[in-house]
Structure 1
């Protein structure tokens, strides 16, 4: 998650806790804050937990992992960096319905990874990553 989302989400949680506190005067005054602020932190951590990495798989072969999905590096074809308008096009009008997409709006660039496995119905992956050049180098 981007740094600026943390103060916004925590402020929203604090305002919601204050409204609950004012709306239910018999309730312990600290209870909404104790419940909602840690819940907001947990939500922020959960939303930013997705990892994109290349490493050894269960069978020892190197694989690309994006969240819970994984793809053997041997099945990776052409890899392109998409930024700005090209990213909007890749995620909009040009998007194949069978493509795997891991899009995080707060991450700028993405990579489009062609899948060469004939048994895989997914034609390509579009994955947001902060360091697309490093990911491309790791896939080679």
Structure 2
């Protein structure tokens, strides 16, 4: 099997406001280190900002892809033949499925800063996971990509 270009690929990047928060973390650390002099102040500003930015970047680096006959969501790689129907969730339904409707056995790729999601049923009888909950900015497009990839497989 040769992997072709992904018909769907999305990176769940962190919102822009998180970069401002990263700078504010560095500024806070700089103020804490202010009594120790100028050099510790600069080290705190640069180091705190860099550490917070790395954390924000790594949290927002997770990707969702449909490649070949697989759905890759974060670290999970699920064969498309094990997936059933995909349900597009609006913000209210998405909140419900990540709170009181959630199943503890489900696979959640959750990013709270993304209000919409896609819930995909898992039909593999060997897999105890009932569904995948995938935060996505374009759930309709992801559902179509899964459907198209399943049809061509």
**TM-score (normalizing by structure 2):** 0.81
1:75 aligns with 2:87: no
Tell me which residue corresponds to 2:15.
2
CA 2–15 in structure 1, closer or farther in 2 if over 3 Å, else same: same
Q: CA deviation at 1:26?
A: 8.0
Point out where structure 1 has 5 or more consecutive residues left out of the alignment.
57-61
Q: CA deviation at 1:30?
A: 2.3
The one of the two structures with greater contact order (alpha-carbon pairs below 8 A, sep at least 6) is 2
Tell me which residue corresponds to 1:48.
60
How many aligned residue pairs are there? 134
CA–CA distance in structure 1, aligned partners of residues 91 and 38 of structure 2: 52
CA RMSD of aligned residues (A): 1.6
Tell me which residue corresponds to 2:42.
30
Tell me which residue corresponds to 2:129.
122
**TM-score (normalizing by structure 1):** 0.88
Tell me which residue corresponds to 1:93.
100
